[in-house]
Amino acid sequence: MTETKTFGYVRVSTKEQNADRQTVEMKKLKINERDIFIDKASGKDFDRPQYQALKAQLRKGDLVYISSLDRLGRNSDAIKKEWEEITREIGADMVVLDMPLLDTRKYKDTMGNFVANLVLQVLTFMAQSEREKILARQKEGIAVAKAQGKHLGRPQLNLNTLTKQQRADLEANYTTWKAKEITSVQFMEILGLKKNSFYKIISEYEESK
């Protein structure tokens, strides 16, 4: 008989957001760190590398924890489709920590399934509605900014706009990189920078030394 496994899924919307709170929740459940899958990506769809890796590992009888339904996704139809695939086609269980009714281990009878499905419908609708509100506010903000003649787009990345963590990682790894003990690609990954931004920041840093 194949041993069942317990997994945790964590998602934050951007690389700048911290996933620690959700990860700590998973560790409190005694989930092995290697079985916690973390995506830093939008919840608009499920084209996320860690989510897809988790799904590929799931087998009948396995268990997946998520902290809240909006961490799974923001698109109502897509959430319901993924939920159905995991719980019915694969046969794994799902638990939403902040919504006890969304625990497929508890509700196996007809009435239980009806209640859980109703809650899922409501929450997925709310998750999508929240996303649509956010997008609408963003569009309104862009329209106002354009009307006022303000510059739009990302602020110019430079040494002064690095986060405290990026600055600390830069200073901690610069000498190692110069000694060729780590590659430029590895250094870029540590800093979370793309090639052009990386060399621009390095040039500014060297000039400031």
- pLDDT band (50, 70, 90) for residue 148: low
Query: Do residue 23 and residue 118 come from a single domain?
Result: yes
Least Cα distance to 92 among 65, 53, 67 occurs for: 65
Calpha distance 201→23 (Å, rounded): 31
What range defines the domain where residue 165 resides? Answer: 159-208
Note the pLDDT of residue 13.
85
> Who contacts 26 (Cβ-Cβ below 8 Å, separation ≥6)?
8, 10, 36, 65
164 and 110 within one domain:
no
Rounded to two decimals, the pTM is 0.59
* Structural domain includes residue 136: no
Domain assignment of residue 108, yes or no: yes
Contacting residues for 53 by C-beta, under 8 A, at least 6 apart: 37
Q: Is residue 47 part of a domain?
A: yes
Q: What would the mean pLDDT of 121-140 be, rounded to a whole number? A: 67
Q: Are residues 97 and 167 in the same domain?
A: no
- Asked whether residue 79 falls in the same domain as residue 164, the answer is no
What value does the mean pLDDT take over residues 73-96? 89
Number of domains in the chain: 2
Residue 117 forms part of a structural domain: yes
Q: What are phi and psi of 23, to 5 degrees?
A: -65, -40
88 and 172 in a single domain? The answer is: no
> Which residues are marked as active site?
13
User: Can you tell me the mean pLDDT for 158-182?
Assistant: 87
